[in-house]
């Protein structure tokens, strides 16, 4: 068991060091290049054409967040009513507002602690409703959704308790990189449904897409378990250090 824990600590250190060096740390080529490209595109969208300039004047960062909250029920409803193409389109369009509110906050000087808190809660409400739609619509995905939800609840409750005890979790061990896999799994499930509606798509391709859905979802759940485990290991080390 000690050997397994040691290997997990080593893998965790290697991953977090890579993430910090290539993505999160200021001055990193990968992270800054990505941010510059994204900001350049949004600059053109909202300042490089007449319609965008009107939106730039009338909208604010919080207005985009409220828009996402008010429209968050649309993908869920489309999934439950079996309008998968509309569900995909609405999910992407509404998800874009997550980029817009952050850019507007930086560009218009509207960054605030309340805005960050509100934006995070709206993101979770939006994703939760989408997951509810998947849970209702797909029988074969329910066990995956229950597993992911249970782990997230455990992380939230455990994180609160550890924070109350005085322990501050490592920023790169929050499990934030698990969400793209869970969303990707749902995306592959949608693609599978859309492919099944096209008669000319061979059955082996549809099967491969469905397997990709399960693989992505399973990876997201494994990363959630890894995140929880590393938090517990870090907390135990922190606790031992504070007993000295």
52 and 65, same domain (yes or no): no
With a cut of 70, say whether residue 151 has pLDDT above it.
yes
pLDDT of residue 210: 93
Q: What is the mean pLDDT of residues 9-28?
A: 60
Which one of 129, 149, 166 terminates a domain?
129
77 and 43, same domain (yes or no): no
With a cut of 70, say whether residue 112 has pLDDT above it.
yes
Q: How far apart are CA 180 and CA 207, in angstroms?
A: 22
Q: What percent of the chain has pLDDT over 90?
A: 18
46 and 67, same domain (yes or no): no
pLDDT of residue 136: 92
| Better pLDDT: 157 or 222 | 222
With a cut of 90, say whether residue 199 has pLDDT above it.
no
Which pLDDT tens digit goes with each residue over 159-178? Answer: 667 667 677 666 555 566 78
Q: How far apart are CA 53 and CA 45, in angstroms?
A: 8
Nearest to 101 by CA among 59, 49, 70, 38: 59
113 and 75, same domain (yes or no): yes
123 and 159, same domain (yes or no): no
The answer to whether the Cα torsion of 92, 100, 176, 124 is positive or negative is negative
With a cut of 60, say whether residue 244 has pLDDT above it.
no
pLDDT tier at 21, thresholds 50, 70, 90? low
69 and 105, same domain (yes or no): yes
Dihedral (C-alpha) 213, 215, 217, 223: value to the nearest 10 degrees? -160
What is the domain extent for residue 7? 1-58
pLDDT tier at 200, thresholds 50, 70, 90? confident
pLDDT tier at 48, thresholds 50, 70, 90? confident
pLDDT of residue 5: 60
Domain count along the chain? 3
Which one of 43, 58, 73 terminates a domain?
58
37 and 95, same domain (yes or no): no
Mean of pLDDT over the chain: 81
With a cut of 90, say whether residue 209 has pLDDT above it.
yes
Q: What is the DSSP letter of 175?
A: -
243 and 142, same domain (yes or no): yes
pLDDT of residue 211: 95
Q: How far apart are CA 79 and CA 182, in angstroms?
A: 16
Which one of 73, 104, 129 terminates a domain?
129
pLDDT of residue 205: 92
Give residue for tokens 């938090």.
Answer: 231
* 105-to-31, 38, 59 alpha-carbon distances in Å: 19, 14, 11
With a cut of 90, say whether residue 179 has pLDDT above it.
no
52 and 67, same domain (yes or no): no
124 and 208, same domain (yes or no): no
163 and 228, same domain (yes or no): yes
235 and 207, same domain (yes or no): yes
Angle (deg, nearest 10), helices 61-70 and 113-137: 20
pLDDT tier at 78, thresholds 50, 70, 90? very high
Q: How far apart are CA 205 and CA 62, in angstroms?
A: 42
pLDDT of residue 12: 63
Q: How far apart are CA 134 and CA 186, in angstroms?
A: 8
pLDDT of residue 208: 94
Q: How far apart are CA 47 and CA 45, in angstroms?
A: 6
């Amino acid at each position: 068991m000690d050997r397994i824990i040691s290997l997990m600590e080593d893998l965790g250190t290697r991953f977090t060091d890579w993430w910090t060096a290539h993505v999160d740390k200021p001055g990193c080529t990968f992270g800054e290049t990505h941010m510059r490209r994204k900001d350049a595109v949004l600059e053109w969208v909202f300042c490089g054409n007449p319609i965008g300039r009107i939106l730039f004047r009338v909208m604010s960062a919080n207005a985009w967040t409220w828009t996402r909250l008010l429209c968050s029920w649309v993908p869920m409803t489309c999934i439950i009513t079996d309008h998968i193409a509309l569900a995909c389109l609405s999910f992407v369009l509404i998800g874009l507002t997550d980029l817009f509110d952050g850019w507007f906050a930086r560009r218009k000087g509207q960054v605030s602690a309340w805005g960050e808190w509100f934006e995070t809660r709206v993101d979770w409400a939006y994703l939760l409703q989408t997951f509810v739609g998947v849970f209702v619509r797909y029988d074969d995905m329910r066990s995956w959704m229950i597993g992911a939800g249970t782990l997230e609840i455990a992380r939230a409750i455990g994180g609160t308790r550890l924070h109350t005890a005085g322990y501050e979790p490592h920023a790169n061990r929050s499990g934030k990189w698990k969400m793209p896999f869970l969303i990707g799994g749902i995306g592959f499930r949608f693609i599978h449904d859309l492919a099944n509606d096209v008669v000319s798509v061979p059955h082996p391709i549809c099967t491969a897409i469905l397997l990709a859905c399960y693989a992505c979802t399973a990876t997201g759940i494994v990363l959630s378990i890894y995140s929880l485990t590393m938090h517990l290991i870090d907390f135990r080390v922190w606790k031992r250090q504070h007993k000295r």
